[in-house]
Amino acid sequence: MVSREQVVHGACRFFLRHGEVDMDGVARSLAISRATLYRVVHSRDGLLGDVLWRLGERQLAQARLRRRNGGVEGVLEITRHFVDRLRGAAPFRAFLRGEPETAARVLFNGSGAVHRRAVSAQKQILLEVPGEWCAGPLDQVAFLYVRIVESAIYAELLGGHPLDPDLAERAARSVLLPRRPTATG
């Protein structure tokens, strides 16, 4: 019997070679039947979510290692490194071009759980990078921050037009900055 971990690992290798997760191709590469593959992973979207998260998590880990600053600048630095690595990933770009509807479904909805995992990872980054954060629950701050970053990364997928990276960074920064007291209270 093949484990889910073995399937995800094999699907990651397949994705890096082909820029997609073709269930027949993944099954052949693992020397298992398509029926066995589906018994283990249940759905292509779920497997894609695991693959995209696994590969993205590696990029995020490398971006975290490159951080040199603390506070808001440290968080933004991690994000810049991550986004640069993601944009440079040819298999990922091929997937976005080839399957935009599937990409949107898996990246942003519950079927792939990528967004939920990204929010959890962002919360961990906020906890590990020293700094004073926006007043509010870190779960919500992380959620808003991730949505802004996703909007910048996937602007063409979502709206057909690229988003100004400087504008996106200013928006992300504003979510992180602590609230300053105003003269009226």
**H-helix segments, 23-164:** 23-30, 34-41, 44-65, 71-87, 90-98, 100-108, 114-128, 138-153, 155-159
Tokens of 28: 């052949």
Whole-number average pLDDT of the chain: 91
User: Quick one: pLDDT at residue 110?
Assistant: 64
User: Quick one: pLDDT at residue 184?
Assistant: 60
In this predicted structure, the answer to whether residue 73 has a pLDDT above a threshold of 80 is yes
CB 30 within 8 A of CB 2: yes
User: Quick one: pLDDT at residue 2?
Assistant: 94
Taking only the tens place, the pLDDT of each residue in 88-121 is 999 999 999 999 999 999 998 866 689 999 999 9
In this predicted structure, the answer to whether residue 17 has a pLDDT above a threshold of 90 is yes
pLDDT tier for residue 131 given thresholds of 50, 70 and 90: confident
- Closest C-alpha to 165, from 102, 87, 55: 87
pLDDT tier for residue 133 given thresholds of 50, 70 and 90: confident
pLDDT tier for residue 150 given thresholds of 50, 70 and 90: very high
Cα separation values, 95 from 19, 92, 149, Å: 5, 5, 19
